[in-house]
Amino acid sequence: MSIISEQSAAEFVKGSGAFMIADRRVAELYPECLSERSFIVDSGEELKSFAKVETFIKWLADNGCNRGSEIVALGGGTVGDMAGFAAAIYMRGVKFHNIPTTLLSMVDSAIGGKTAVNVGSIKNLVGAFHQPTNVIIDIAFLKSITDNDFLSGFGEIIKTAAIADQSLFNMLLNERDRVLRREIGDIITRVCNIKADTVRRDPYDNGIRVILNAGH
Ligand code: GLY
C-alpha cells in the first residue's frame, strides 16, 4: 500500500478509467474529482449494508467492471468501508484505491485494509481485510469539513501521537495556532505513517495493531 500525498485527488483520478463510488456531498463540492464512471451515494452507516453493496455490484457489472478493473472510493469512512468490501468480493477481489475526504478517514479508516458492512444493529459484523493499493491524501478536502468533523479527526491524531510519537505530541501542544488554521499536512503524513507501519507489522489484527484501538 502506498500513501500518496504529493498528487491531488483530481490528478489521481483523471484518465484512470476507474469505477468510482463517491459521496454525494463531495461529488457536488468537488466535481473535478469524479471519474467518468461514478456511482453516487449518501454516506452514513445506512450505506454499509448488504443491500447497498448489491446495488453497487450490479452497477459495476452493468458498466463492464472486470477482474482487471480498479475501484476508487471518494468520501469518508462509511464510503471507504463499503467500497473496500465490494472490491474485496467483486469477482473474488479487484484493486481498490481510497481517497478519504474527512480528517478521521485520512488518519484512520482509509489505512489498513479493514472493510465491512453492518448487519442489523451490529456494526462491522461482516467484512474482509482488503488492502487499498493507494491511499490518496489530499488536504484540500479539509477546507470544507465542519469544525466538529475536524475535531473528531484531530482526536484520532492526538491519540496516535500519545501512543506512538512523543515528539509529535509535543508539537501538537506547541503549535495550536496552525492546527486551528488546519495547516496540518505534515502532521497527517506522520500519523498515516505510524498507522501504516503498525498495520504492516500486524495486517490481520492479531497482535500489536490492537494499540490503534486505544480510545475507540
Ligand atoms: N482503527 C483501528 C485499526 O485499523 O486497526
pLDDT in tens, 112-149: 999 999 999 999 999 999 999 999 999 999 999 999 99
Q: Please state, in angstroms and as integers, the Cα–Cα distance from residue 38 to each residue in 53, 109, 149, 186, following that order.
A: 15, 22, 25, 30
pLDDT tens column, 25-35? 999 999 999 99
Beta strand 134-136 with 95-100: parallel, antiparallel or unpaired?
Answer: parallel
Ligand 1 interacting residues, C-beta cut-off 6 A: 108, 112, 114, 205, 209, 212-213
Residue 211 per-residue DSSP state = G
Q: Which atom of ligand 1 is nearest to the CA of 198?
A: 5
Residue nearest to atom 4 of ligand 1 (CA): 112
Q: Which atom of ligand 1 is nearest to the CA of 210?
A: 5
Whether the pLDDT of residue 216 is over 90: the answer is: no
* In the chain, % of residues over pLDDT 70: 100
Other CB atoms closer than 10 Å to residue 129's CB: what's the count? 15
* In the chain, % of residues over pLDDT 90: 98
Give the three cell numbers for residue 100: 478519504
Beta strand 114-119 with 122-129: parallel, antiparallel or unpaired?
Answer: antiparallel
Q: Average pLDDT, stretch 84-97?
A: 98
Q: Please state, in angstroms and as integers, the Cα–Cα distance from residue 117 to each residue in 124, 132, 140, 144, 156, following that order.
A: 5, 17, 28, 27, 22
Sign for the CA dihedral angle at 117, 122, 124, 128 comes to negative
Q: Which atom of ligand 1 is nearest to the CA of 209?
A: 5
